[in-house]
């Protein structure tokens, strides 16, 4: 029995096609993950450049404020009850 013909099917060609699809899918996923990581790195670098902030940003982390920022001033209360 040859690998070229099993019950009229081209086993070698079918296996080759399945392997090519599997490799193509694996490579596509790897590239997608690499591109996503590079995009996040570029976004982090841009934010750090603009804000001077060195905290790490990622989808799972929160944005922290710059330590040099002043806290907001207390609002001025005007007493309107005196006449």
- Which has more confidence, 68 or 49? 49
As a whole number of angstroms, the distance between CA 79 and CA 48 comes to: 43
With a cut of 70, say whether residue 22 has pLDDT above it: yes
pLDDT of residue 67: 54
- Percentage of residues of the chain with pLDDT beyond 70: 61
Would you kindly state where each structural domain of the chain is located, as residue ranges? 1-83
Instruction: Rank 5-19, 25-39, 51-65 by mean pLDDT and report only the highest.
Output: 25-39
Distant-in-sequence, close-in-space partners of 59: CB < 8 Å, separation ≥ 6: 40
Condensed to tens digits (0 to 9), the pLDDT of residues 62-71 reads 555 555 566 6
Alpha-carbon span 59 to 74, nearest angstrom: 33
């Amino acid at each position: 029995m040859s690998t070229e013909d099993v019950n009229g099917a081209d086993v070698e060609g079918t296996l080759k096609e399945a392997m090519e699809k599997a490799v193509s899918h694996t490579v596509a996923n790897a590239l997608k993950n690499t591109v996503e990581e590079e995009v996040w790195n570029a976004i982090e670098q841009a934010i750090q450049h603009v804000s001077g902030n060195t905290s790490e940003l990622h989808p799972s982390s929160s944005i922290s404020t710059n330590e040099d920022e002043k806290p907001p001033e207390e609002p001025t209360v005007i007493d309107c009850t005196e006449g």
